[in-house]
Amino acid sequence: MSRSFKLGVLAAAVMAAAPMAQAYEAGDFIGRAGVATVDPDSSSSDLNSDALGVLPGAQVSVDSDTQLGLTVTYMITDQIAIGVLGATPFKHDIEGDGAVLGGAGKLAETKHLPPTITLQFFPMPSSSKFQPYAGLGVNYTNFFEEKTTSTLTGIYDDVASGGAGGVVASTDLELDDSFGLAAEIGMDYMITENVGVNAAIWWADIDTDATINAYAADGSRVDSSTLDVEIDPWVYMVGVSYKF
Ligand code: NI
């Protein structure tokens, strides 16, 4: 055998015997950035008005939104991790729904941040480039910058004045923060030692109490109504992963 052939065989043998680079192991941080969509599976109770009582069929639904999603995983062991989901603020339209308000269009909008923390399990060996995972944890959703539309104010004015107008001049909306269960599944596929692609899906139990106030032109309150709104979204994210 030639010297160069023997060296080639030796090099191949060394490469075959060398341990694979560790993909994920205890102490690693994996950061991910991508496109995240919050897609509510929403439903609401009937609107309950101080002035008029429960109005059957006066309901709302919540539409979807897409933002920059950011997640971080910290590997506590080679297989158990803590995961955090963050994002730029989501903005959702709140639309009329049910027999009475269905077709009314956009009644309000809100922004929210849905930070979610999960305990994650990575079943594959740490040497694997393919790292699926599942997580279970909690979601905290903070709603802010709630705004009502002139459509909603017009509906209140019509109802309060019997169609004559001139009773309700403005409305506002307040949504309580939500704290609930969250579950996720996802996968990273490492293309190089540090860079990979990621896809993940969460479900979060997000419920809020909505309060709508209606005011006369002089600022006095004409009515206060409440609704229980279940948002319970699926959250989808695709992006890139970077292992630190
Ligand atoms: Ni719920």
Residue 17's pLDDT is 47
The pTM (predicted TM-score) of the whole model is 0.84
- The pLDDT score that the predictor gives to residue 153 is 97
CA gap 62, 119 in Å, rounded: 28
From the candidate CATH numbers 3.40.50.720, 3.30.9.10, 2.40.160.20, 3.30.590.10, the one assigned to the domain spanning 24-243: 2.40.160.20
State in Å: Cα 71 to ligand 1 middle. 23
43 CA → ligand 1 middle, Å:
9
Alpha carbon of 17 to ligand 1 centroid (Å): 52
Q: Report how far ligand 1's centroid is from the alpha carbon of 205 (Å).
A: 4
- pLDDT value for 23: 84
pLDDT score recorded for residue 39? 96
Quote the ligand 1 centre to 240 CA distance (angstroms).
30
User: What is the pLDDT at residue 151?
Assistant: 97
pLDDT, position 126:
87
**Residue segments in the chain with a per-residue pLDDT below the cut of 70:** 1-21
Name which of 57, 150, 141, 158 is nearest 109 in CA terms. 150
Amino acid 18: pLDDT: 47
Distance 31 CA to ligand 1 centre (A): 29
